[in-house]
């Protein structure tokens, strides 16, 4: 059975959205052409009228050179419109093509009206047979042909042109029933399909994230798709990026002039934006809507729109305003996408651990498991540690634990930790056997992506700080070792207040937003990506005194926040005790070890004083705090910002654009120096 179009990310597009894209991509150049033709005709008409007045004869004007040129200009432009070819490579039921033919006919009507006032007339020449579409869904493919014909006939009727009384809807052979991005006619040699030569390409490609490709399109199809586009589209790009790349190639090959496509906002993110970078390399973007409300299956989402060509278009707009350039992050002004990675920042910021199964434990489960003995005499605390994800940082900390066998523990070694291993065999093993990756199925007791680089960098640190990958407020929080951060967190291998303070300043926040990937709307926040947001960020060359001032302000901010989150009046310190080894993750908490190095872990943590306090503390989250942003918090941040600005030698009154320009200059200067070091 053919899946619903929504299952492959194909969705209905409203007329307003279609017009927003078609006006600048399709109609703007045609309207400009018409204005040029009209201006020439107006000038010639004046000459014709002058000739008529001089000769005092109405018929004489038709014999003049001006008259012939005038009429030819109009007729040629009428034929020009009739020869316009357009392609929607994800046409669905033909919404874009329906609107397109109406727009073309509307423009031709203006030309016909002008001609009739100047003695030139003709029947509309624009016809459906110059509209091309590609659609994989058989029902939508059939419907598109009918929709286009109905749109054409309705327009003719409503505009006073008599269509045939009993019209026969001729097949529109230009609507092709096939896959627009992958030709599997020979399954052993998958390749790109051929798109028809078209002057304009536009449409709404399917919205499907890279993580859902195999689930919705199948293992074999996805593998073939990635293989065909391996050198051109990032493997983690959204499905719509493949149509962007196909349209770009059409323009580069001279088989198309202009294209305009909708996309999810991921098109300007790190993976998909490489497709936009290729567009800039071979041509340019002349139009973009970076953030537009859109309704998807009844839910409000946000999309982007992009118009691009070979670089001929000189008038560029972004979000309805004229700009000098549209960057690959769909922004203008300072182009932070040109920033380079700085070696000095390497090995400091990491995505957290991806567990890939139910490795986590509730607090009660963990506390029961930790004291249990093992046949080899090692404590379970070797493989049971606190765990935190984004919800624990932005929201209420939940005291969740996780079973973590590290990187290379064999099944035989893991089984020696009897209770943790049996827990995983019951809860994780069944899940992993459904995983498509053989390595994950075989090594089911290990996390799927254990992040060895992060573990090495954090080893030996008493604390480190994290930020959530996605956040409305760009917040950084301290974590105590041996807490394991989840993959929805970015962990920073610093334990000093100075680094915490610099990254928590307005200057770093502006940098992350300047090159950040917006989630949905601005209220939903931005995504933090270490390779672009941190690896390119130039720290200030601060003096010892300036570093001290930043560290002091950062520590003060953290202390104030901690007191608000866990007021002493509502909390108490609890000391957990369980067996631990000096060679394990709890080494700094181990007391009175015996000969083999096993002693008692004494782990302090903050807990509510009673149930009433626990209820009050549920509302004490960082997100709620920053939503309210009380005066004391604002002043603490201003103090921190002032100290960081001073270290850069800048004024706190600088605009965001000035900050971006200053940071980009620092980045490029240091990148050039590292090239010669």
Burial of 143 (0-12, 13-18, 19+ CB in 10 A): middle
**Residue 164 pLDDT more than 70?**
no
**Residue 57 pLDDT more than 60?**
no
C-beta of residue 657 within 8 angstroms of C-beta of residue 665:
no
With tokens 């009844």, the residue in question is: 298
Helices in 131-218 by DSSP H: which ranges? 138-158, 213-217
Residue 65 has a CB neighbour count (10 Å cut-off) of 11
pLDDT in tens, 485-514: 999 999 999 999 999 999 999 999 999 988
The CA distance from 218 to 477, in Å, is 40
- What count of Cα atoms within 13 Å lies in the side-chain half-sphere of residue 279? 34
Whole-number pLDDT of residue 292 = 85
Residue 391's Cα: distance from chain center in Å? 21
DSSP 420-432: HHHHHHHHTHHHH
Q: Give the predicted TM-score (pTM) of the model.
A: 0.85
Mean pLDDT of the chain: 91
Give the SS3 label for residue 92.
Answer: coil
pLDDT band at 6 (very low <50, low <70, confident <90, very high): very low
pLDDT band at 7 (very low <50, low <70, confident <90, very high): very low
Q: Which has more confidence, 66 or 170?
A: 66
Residue 531 has a CB neighbour count (10 Å cut-off) of 12
pLDDT band at 167 (very low <50, low <70, confident <90, very high): low
Whole-number pLDDT of residue 604 = 96
**Residue 337 pLDDT more than 80?**
yes
With tokens 């689930």, the residue in question is: 215
**Token code pair at residue 550:** 């930043």
Whole-number pLDDT of residue 63 = 62
Query: Considering Cα of 107, then 113, then 115, then 117, what sign does the dihedral take?
Result: negative
Q: List all residues 6 or more positions away from 110 whose beta carbon is below 8 Å from its beta carbon.
A: 34
Query: For the ranges 83-92, 192-201, 525-534, which has the lowest average pLDDT?
Result: 525-534
**Residue 517 pLDDT more than 80?**
no
The CA distance from 250 to 198, in Å, is 9
The CA distance from 367 to 574, in Å, is 13
**Residue 117 pLDDT more than 60?**
yes
**Token code pair at residue 516:** 């950040």
Whole-number pLDDT of residue 1 = 29
**Token code pair at residue 141:** 């493919």
Sheet arrangement for strand 349-351 = 349-351, 489-492, 463-468, 477-480
Whole-number pLDDT of residue 476 = 96
CA-based R_g, the chain, Å: 32
Whole-number pLDDT of residue 525 = 65
C-beta of residue 451 within 8 angstroms of C-beta of residue 353:
yes
pLDDT band at 559 (very low <50, low <70, confident <90, very high): very high
Query: For the ranges 30-39, 213-222, 626-635, which has the lowest average pLDDT?
Result: 213-222
Q: Which has more confidence, 320 or 235?
A: 320
CA angle 11, 15, 16 (to 5 degrees): 110
pLDDT band at 214 (very low <50, low <70, confident <90, very high): confident
Whole-number pLDDT of residue 657 = 95
pLDDT band at 5 (very low <50, low <70, confident <90, very high): very low
Give the SS3 label for residue 160.
Answer: coil
C-beta of residue 509 within 8 angstroms of C-beta of residue 640:
no
With tokens 């570093």, the residue in question is: 547
pLDDT band at 61 (very low <50, low <70, confident <90, very high): very low
Q: Pick from 299, 274, 313, 239: which is nearest to 89 by CA?
A: 239
**Residue 664 pLDDT more than 80?**
yes
**Residue 13 pLDDT more than 80?**
no
Which uninterrupted H or E stretch holds 313? none
Burial of 46 (0-12, 13-18, 19+ CB in 10 A): exposed
Q: Pick from 145, 152, 249: which is nearest to 201 by CA?
A: 249
pLDDT band at 160 (very low <50, low <70, confident <90, very high): confident
pLDDT in tens, 633-648: 999 999 999 999 999 9
Give the SS3 label for residue 223.
Answer: helix
pLDDT in tens, 249-284: 999 999 999 999 999 887 887 778 889 999 999 999
C-beta of residue 167 within 8 angstroms of C-beta of residue 225:
no
């Amino acid at each position: 059975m053919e899946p619903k179009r929504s299952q492959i990310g194909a969705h209905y597009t409203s007329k307003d959205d279609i017009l927003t894209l078609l006006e600048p991509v399709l109609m703007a150049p045609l309207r400009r052409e018409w204005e040029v033709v009209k201006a020439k005709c107006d000038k010639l008409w004046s000459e014709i009228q002058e000739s008529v007045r001089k000769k005092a004869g109405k018929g004489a004007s038709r014999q003049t050179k001006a008259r012939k040129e005038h009429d030819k200009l109009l007729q040629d432009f009428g034929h020009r419109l009739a020869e316009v070819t357009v392609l929607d490579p994800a046409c669905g039921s033909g919404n874009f093509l329906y609107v397109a033919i109406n727009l073309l006919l509307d423009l031709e009507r203006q030309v016909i009206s002008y001609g009739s006032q100047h003695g030139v007339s003709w029947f509309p020449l624009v016809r459906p047979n110059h509209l091309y579409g590609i659609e994989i869904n058989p029902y939508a493919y059939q419907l598109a042909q009918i929709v286009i014909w109905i749109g054409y006939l309705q327009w003719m009727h409503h505009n006073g042109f008599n269509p045939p009384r009993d019209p026969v809807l001729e097949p529109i052979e230009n609507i092709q029933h096939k896959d627009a991005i992958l030709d599997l006619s020979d399954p052993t040699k998958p390749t790109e399909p051929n798109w028809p030569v078209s002057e304009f390409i536009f449409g709404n490609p399917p919205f499907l994230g890279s993580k859902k490709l195999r689930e919705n399109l199948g293992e074999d199809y996805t593998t073939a798709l990635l293989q065909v586009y391996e050198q051109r589209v990032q493997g983690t790009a959204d499905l719509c990026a493949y149509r962007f790349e196909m349209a770009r190639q059409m323009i580069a090959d001279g088989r198309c002039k202009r294209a305009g496509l909708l996309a999810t906002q991921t098109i300007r993110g790190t993976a998909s934006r490489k497709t936009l970078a290729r567009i800039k390399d071979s041509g340019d973007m002349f139009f973009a809507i970076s953030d537009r409300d859109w309704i998807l299956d009844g839910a409000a989402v946000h999309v982007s729109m992009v118009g691009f060509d070979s670089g001929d278009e000189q008038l560029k707009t972004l979000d309805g305003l004229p700009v000098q350039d549209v960057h690959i992050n769909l922004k203008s002004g300072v182009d932070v996408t040109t920033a380079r990675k700085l070696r000095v920042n390497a090995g400091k910021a990491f995505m957290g651990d991806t567990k890939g199964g139910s490795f986590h434990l509730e607090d009660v489960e963990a506390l029961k498991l930790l004291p249990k003995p093992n046949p080899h005499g090692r404590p379970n605390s070797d493989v049971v540690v606190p765990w935190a994800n984004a919800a624990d940082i932005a929201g209420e900390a939940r005291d969740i634990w996780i079973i973590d066998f590290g990187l290379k523990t064999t099944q035989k070694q893991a089984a020696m930790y009897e209770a943790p291993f049996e827990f995983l065999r019951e809860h994780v093993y069944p899940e992993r056997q459904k995983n498509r990756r053989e390595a994950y199925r075989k090594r089911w007791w290990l996390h799927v992506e254990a992040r060895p680089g992060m573990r090495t960098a954090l080893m030996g640190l008493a604390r480190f700080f994290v930020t959530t990958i996605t956040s409305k407020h760009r917040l950084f929080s301290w974590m105590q070792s041996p807490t394991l951060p989840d993959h929805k967190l970015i962990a920073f291998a610093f334990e000093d207040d100075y680094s915490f303070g610099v990254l928590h300043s307005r200057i770093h926040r502006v940098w992350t937003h300047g090159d950040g990937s917006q989630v949905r709307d601005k209220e939903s926040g931005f995504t933090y990506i270490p390779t672009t947001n941190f690896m390119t960020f130039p720290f200030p060359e601060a003096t010892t005194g300036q570093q001290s001032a930043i560290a002091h302000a950062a520590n003060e901010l953290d202390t104030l926040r901690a007191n608000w989150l866990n007021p002493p009046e509502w909390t108490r310190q609890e000391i957990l005790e369980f067996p631990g080894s000096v060679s394990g993750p709890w080494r700094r908490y181990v007391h009175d070890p015996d000969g083999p190095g096993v002693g008692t872990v004494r782990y302090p943590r903050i807990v509510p004083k009673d149930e009433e306090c626990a209820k009050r503390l549920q509302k004490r989250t960082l997100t709620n705090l920053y939503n309210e942003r009380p005066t004391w918090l604002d002043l603490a941040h201003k103090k921190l910002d002032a100290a960081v600005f001073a270290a850069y030698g800048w004024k706190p009154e600088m605009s965001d654009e000035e900050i971006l320009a200053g940071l980009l200059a620092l980045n490029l200067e240091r990148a050039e120096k590292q090239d010669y070091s």
